[in-house]
Amino acid sequence: MLSAAALTVGVDVGGTSVRAGVVDADGAVLDTARAPTPRAEAALEATVARVIGELAGRHPVEAAGLALAGFITPDRRGVRFAPHLSWRDAPVADRIAARTGLPVVVEHDANAAALAELHFGAAAGAPPPSTTVFVALGTGIGAALLIDGVLFRGAHGVAPELGHLRVVPGGRPCPCGKAGCWERYCSGTALATTAVEMIAREPGLSPALRRLVVDDPGRITGRRVAAAARDGDPLACAAVADLARWLGEGLALVADVFDPELVVIGGGVAASAPLFLDDAREHYASRLTGAGRRPLARIRTAQLGEDAAVVGAARLAREAG
């Protein structure tokens, strides 16, 4: 563990952009840098090293942590596979360390975000909850499990992978090759898909959203559907209610397998939590195995917004340093 005065860099390596921040021991983000994500492996590594170097030029940083969606090796130095990045069985930590001269660790982005929420956000407190599940709703679903404040990674570093639990056999096809995966029904992407399906069935229900679709179905995004729901659009409200139902359904499943004390809902969709979290909570409580005969988990909204993975990755770099 580095000294309390030390600063570290956290880097959220996403499919669209690389976002980095200088973070202090209290989880405060002091400075940021970002760049678009290149496709090619060498260019990707050069970009990650450049944003770290940019921040290291302005602050006395001592270590860096990378957060990304993908399968990370148990030693947190390599990336086995990342669906939106070009790394395949790549020794990413060593390569970035060589380029920057800093010690580097790599972590799954949901794990990093969960750790940030544990130390500085929705799950902060002493003692830490015995069992915390973090569910990030964004393009897909990212998830993390913290047992007594420690990340659980499973035997090969890939647990828990919840987004591709099949909730609907024969349901919506998923890029993973399966169908009916939870994230096809409960994510920002799912919210848009549901709205598009509803518009096709009942075109009159939402003239505003329908106009978007006629121009280009890609213009319907989860964010736009959530905004329309906040304005009271009936179709958008129905799409959000559908998401709430599937969130509750999935959380009941999560509670069956992990029996958590606390569930934290994060990711971009969490910004709209007031629209759906009460419904999801009720659905969860009614779908739980042994409902009424066992304690319920508390369900809370993440507090750190889109900085969570950056803050968590920086925290991991601090712990490893």
Which stretches of the chain bind a copy of itself, using CB under 8 A?
71, 80-81, 129-131, 147, 152-169, 176-178, 249, 253, 256-262, 287, 289-291, 293-295, 297
Residue 51: CB minimum distance to a copy of itself, A: 27
Residue 240: CB minimum distance to a copy of itself, A: 20
Residue 260: CB minimum distance to a copy of itself, A: 6
Residue 159: CB minimum distance to a copy of itself, A: 3
**Choice between 131 and 303, CB closer to a copy of itself:** 131
**Choice between 95 and 153, CB closer to a copy of itself:** 153
**Choice between 126 and 155, CB closer to a copy of itself:** 155
DSSP states of 51-108 = HHHHHHHHS-EEEEEEEESSEE-TTSS-EEE-TTSS-EEE-HHHHHHHHHSS-EEEEE
**Choice between 125 and 169, CB closer to a copy of itself:** 169
**Choice between 260 and 267, CB closer to a copy of itself:** 260
Q: Are residues 167 and 180 in contact, defined by beta-carbon separation less than 8 angstroms?
A: yes
**Choice between 83 and 218, CB closer to a copy of itself:** 83
Residue 216: CB minimum distance to a copy of itself, A: 31
Inter-CA distances, 268 with 145, 184, 279, 280, Å: 19, 16, 18, 17
Q: Are residues 104 and 183 in contact, defined by beta-carbon separation less than 8 angstroms?
A: no
Residue 223: CB minimum distance to a copy of itself, A: 26
Neighbours of 170 (CB within 10 A): 8
Please enumerate in sequence order all residues whose Cβ is within 8 A of that of 242, keeping only pairs 6 or more positions apart, or say none. 185, 194
| Residues present in the chain in total | 321
Residue with tokens 């499973």: 154
The dihedral sign for the CA sequence 13, 14, 18, 23: negative
